[in-house]
Copies of this chain bind each other. A is one copy, B any other.
Amino acid sequence: MTQLQRRKIPDAAIARLPIYLQILNNLAATNVLRFSSDELAALAGVNAAKVRKDLSYLGSYGTRGVGYEVTYLTHQIKRELGLMREWNVVVVGAGNLGCALAKFDGFLSRGFPVVAIVDNDPKKIGRTTSSLTVGDVSDLKNIVRDEKISIGVITTSSSASQAAVDALVEAGITSILNFAPVVLSTPSSVSVRNVDLGVELQILSYFEQMRFETGSKSENAPQLNSAGAR
């Protein structure tokens, strides 16, 4: 049985679309109307051919000899990424990181309002952190339904993270952003994205060490193409 297959855009290209989008927002803010693949490439720090190929996956929205229109292309990228609507977010884990993210402007401004924060610690439940009251994780199912939440962000300790995932899955959440440094087990129907802040530093450490070993004379620092692995 053939799956209704959406036009398939390569993963690597999908991962760059948000970056282009951000640059287009900046261009729009400075009243730029059009841009060429060369210009966007320079701003994004990539090759112009890559930009053209990435944008071509969206459709043929450029004009030969002229370039691309900022507003039109912004619209197309947002459509592709599913950003034509807002997605409500719940933060699980009301520690320092969780509270910081609940207030984090970068979520709301990109269309991801944090509408709830929960914890399992009775001492934290009921506290208020910037207009949100910490809820009980055992109410998650109701909260997700009532607040129409689509995405869960896990900021618990490592040891509590598996329980947090289970609660989110049980509540019907299918997209999870995980900050706990653990490989979580989930049904394959759930999308998980891990952001391990410790790992980010460890990768920097690798290059910092290389700088020591090679005598740090080199003008070009080695650079990892910003890939976390699965």
Contact = CB atoms under 8 A, between A and B. Distances in A.
A131 interface: no
B224 A14 contact: yes
Nearest to A224: B11
A195 B18 CA distance: 12
A161 to B, nearest CB: 12
Interface string A1-20: 00110100001101111110
Given A112-B201, A194-B226, 6 more contacts: A12-B227, A16-B230, A18-B196, A22-B181, A106-B196, A110-B198
Interface residues of A, number: 89
Contacts of A4: 214-215
Contacts of A15: 203, 224, 227-229
A103 interface: yes
A89 B214 contact: no
Contacts of A81: 202-203, 205-206, 209
Nearest to A8: B222
A211 B101 CA distance: 26
A112 to B, nearest CB: 5
Contacts of A198: 18, 106-107, 109-110, 112
Contacts of A211: 174
If over half of A's interface residues share one DSSP class (helix, strand or loop), that class is named, otherwise mixed; here it is mixed
Contacts of A206: 14, 80-82
B189 A177 contact: no
A194 B225 CA distance: 10
Contacts of A177: 200-201, 204
B221 A207 contact: no
Interface string A141-177: 0000000001100000100000000000000001111
Contact of A205 (B82, B203, B208, B226): B82
Interface stretch (A38-46, A56-64, A67-75, A115-123): A38-46
B228 A183 contact: no
